[in-house]
Amino acid sequence: VMQNRSRVDYQVFPRLAAFAEVAWSSLPAPADRDFAGFDARMTDHYARLDALGVDYRPPGGPLPWQRRPGILGRP
């Protein structure tokens, strides 16, 4: 369950950008795709998300359980 806009943003972005690229682009076969190029395009997209105030999941984390200190079994 997504309780608020921040949680929706975190769950949807940047996945939506990756989905859009696959859905609306003529891409080569998955084995031939250029992840480095995609990563560079996403760097520009993260700046757009920041400007719009979107609470997206950063590519390096934190992972959801890393944002909940004090929960047993979690870092």
Query: Given a cut of 70, is residue 70 above it in pLDDT?
Result: no
Q: What is the pLDDT of residue 74?
A: 44
| 54 neighbors 14 (Cβ within 8 angstroms) | no
Rounded distance between C-alpha atoms, residue 32 and residue 16, angstroms: 21
Express each pLDDT in 3-59 by its tens digit.
Answer: 888 888 888 998 999 899 888 888 788 788 888 988 999 999 999 999 999 988 888
How would residue 75 be classed by pLDDT, with cut points 50, 70 and 90?
A: very low
Residues 6+ apart with CB under 8 A from 74: 65, 66, 68
